[in-house]
Amino acid sequence: MTDPLVVARLRAAGCVWAEDEAAALEQSAATPVELEALVARRVAGEPLETVLGWVEFLGRRLVVATGVFVPRRRTELLARLALTQVADRRRPDEFPPGWWSRCAAGSRRSRPASAGAGRRCTPPT
């Protein structure tokens, strides 16, 4: 059971999913002192994923740290679609760094009607 005081502190700091975050922080902390340190970092605005040191993405737990790109759940659909497009070509971990983010950024840019309906994110060869 999550501590209602931890939930209240997280909610006051603007955490929308305060109960879920409190449970994750409590599971990650080995001691009350460690829990306090984690909660303080989150209340100060540090992303939950960097406080925990991991993120759940595409059914896998990925290690993250401050300053590292943190994949978000809302980008899982884009990643799944990209994986289906390249499944026969090469493994996703063989793409050059930044390819996924350049592809995603390009697909969000507005284009004139004459430029075509969308952008194909063709993996480098």
Q: What is the pLDDT of residues 34-60, one digit of tens each?
A: 999 999 999 999 999 999 999 999 989
Question: Does 125 map to a domain?
Answer: no
User: Is the same domain home to 9 and 59?
Assistant: yes
User: Is the same domain home to 58 and 100?
Assistant: no
> Is pLDDT above 70 for 110?
no
Question: Can you give the pLDDT at residue 99?
Answer: 62
CA atoms within 13 A on the CB side of 52: 19
- Print the domain residue range for 90: 73-112
Question: Does 43 map to a domain?
Answer: yes
Question: Can you give the pLDDT at residue 1?
Answer: 76
pTM over 0.75: no
| Of the ranges 32-41, 57-66, 92-101, the best mean pLDDT one | 32-41
Question: Does 48 map to a domain?
Answer: yes
Question: For residues 74 and 89, is the Cβ–Cβ distance under 8 A?
Answer: no
Round to whole Å and give the CA distance between 101 and 97.
9
Give the pair of three-digit tokens for residue 54.
């991991």
What is the arithmetic mean of pLDDT over 87-106?
61
Round to whole Å and give the CA distance between 23 and 118.
41
Question: Can you give the pLDDT at residue 41?
Answer: 98
User: Is the same domain home to 53 and 90?
Assistant: no
